[in-house]
């Protein structure tokens, strides 16, 4: 029986960003250097497949530092941690490795700079996300106001409207964030902005790549975990661009009913999703369809980050 034809547009860039790659390498090298187990506070990145592979190598994932023993190395996740966490590790004389993405660390430094300058600080982000918890935890309680929506921006009441600054979570929707920033600027024309966009290059590039394929594809498949902010945003961007977009963990999450009537399917992956998941979906599509594959290059990426000296 002849398989029906389908064109698959493969978004580029997709998958691992430099911060995720660095964080995973830190855990791998810590296990190589210090032996298992190595403890990791929170998921190193938000992807079940990555976490399961590191568990198999000897990583033990815990929610809080007090679940890790004093005599084993502990790694802090790529999302960043409140200042109280490394302080507690030092007090216990633990060996710790900070895998915080350097672009998240940049936001931490900006927030501290604004506070030192006496500004009231707004953080645009999603409540409860580890990155937001980590950024707010750089400063004393109550020093940062969290804004999630345009409505929050309209309701925000600083003590001094002429002395406000904003920072953002790095994995937000570029378009949603622009709307919130516009709402803040309309109310507070003097608001201090980041020197350089806080939404990281990888988030921006992957969203642009989805826009590039979603205009042509009826369906967009996004590989990534449901707790991965940047992966969730990619599916949202796909829908806004006119495609039916679905977030799936791996090939087993693919429902062929989604593809009925589709001639062109876009495929991408969030910044914490390994390339093997993309290959798995392409193989699964190949079982049902005669696939013509086209890679759509949106933006070249050359960013790399150095490893900490302890595991370099």
pTM of the model: 0.94
Tokens of 287: 């079982």
Q: In 3-state terms, what secondary structure has residue 261?
A: coil
N-term to C-term CA, the chain: 54
Q: What's the CA gap between 206 and 214, in Å, rounded?
A: 12
Q: Which domains does the chain have, with CATH numbers?
A: 5-16+201-297 (3.40.1010.20), 18-98 (3.40.50.11270), 103-187 (3.40.1010.20)
Contact indicator for 250, 277 with CB cutoff of 8 Å = yes
**Residue-level pLDDT at 196:** 82
pLDDT tens, residue by residue, 209-238: 999 999 999 999 999 999 999 999 999 999
Three-state SS for 192? Answer: strand
Q: What is the dihedral of CA 151, 155, 160, 162, to 10 degrees?
A: 30
Count of C-beta atoms within a 10 Å radius of residue 163: 16
> In the predicted model, is pLDDT for residue 197 greater than 90?
no
Token pair 């399917």 is at which residue?
A: 265
Asked whether the beta carbons of 284 and 254 are under 8 A apart, the reply is yes
131: annotated active-site residue: yes
Model confidence over 101-152: pLDDT tens digits?
A: 999 999 999 999 999 999 999 999 999 999 999 999 999 999 999 999 999 9
Q: Is the pLDDT confidence value at 1 over 80? A: no
User: Which is the catalytic residue, given 28, 120, 131, 236?
Assistant: 131
Average of per-residue pLDDT values in the chain? 96
Dist CA 148 CA 15 (whole Å): 26
């Amino acid at each position: 029986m002849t398989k029906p034809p389908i064109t698959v547009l493969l978004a580029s860039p997709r998958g691992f960003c430099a911060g995720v790659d660095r964080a995973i390498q830190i855990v791998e090298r810590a296990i190589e250097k210090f032996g298992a187990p190595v403890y990791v506070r929170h998921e190193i990145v938000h992807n079940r497949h990555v976490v399961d592979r590191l568990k198999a190598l000897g990583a033990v994932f815990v929610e809080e530092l007090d679940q890790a023993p004093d005599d084993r190395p502990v790694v802090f996740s790529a999302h960043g941690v409140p200042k109280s966490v490394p302080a507690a590790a030092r007090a216990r004389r633990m060996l710790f490795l900070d895998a915080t993405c350097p672009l998240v660390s940049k936001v931490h430094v900006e927030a501290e700079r604004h506070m030192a300058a006496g500004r009231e600080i707004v953080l645009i982000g999603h409540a409860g996300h580890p990155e937001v918890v980590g950024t707010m935890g750089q400063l004393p309680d109550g020093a940062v106001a969290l804004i999630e929506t345009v409505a929050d921006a309209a309701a925000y009441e600083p003590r001094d409207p002429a002395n406000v600054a904003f920072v953002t979570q790095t994995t937000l929707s570029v378009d949603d964030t622009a709307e919130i920033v516009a709402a803040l600027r309309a109310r507070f024309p003097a608001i201090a902005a980041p020197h350089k966009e806080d939404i990281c290059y990888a988030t921006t590039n992957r969203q642009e790549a989805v826009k590039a394929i979603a205009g042509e594809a009826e369906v967009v498949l996004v590989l990534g975990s449901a707790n991965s902010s940047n992966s969730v945003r990619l599916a949202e961007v796909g829908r806004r661009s006119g495609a039916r977009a679905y977030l799936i963990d791996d090939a087993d999450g693919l429902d062929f009913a989604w593809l009925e009537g589709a001639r062109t399917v876009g495929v991408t992956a969030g910044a914490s999703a390994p390339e093997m998941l993309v290959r798995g979906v392409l193989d699964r599509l190949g079982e049902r369809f005669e696939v013509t594959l086209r890679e759509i290059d949106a933006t070249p990426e050359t960013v790399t980050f150095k490893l900490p000296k302890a595991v370099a």
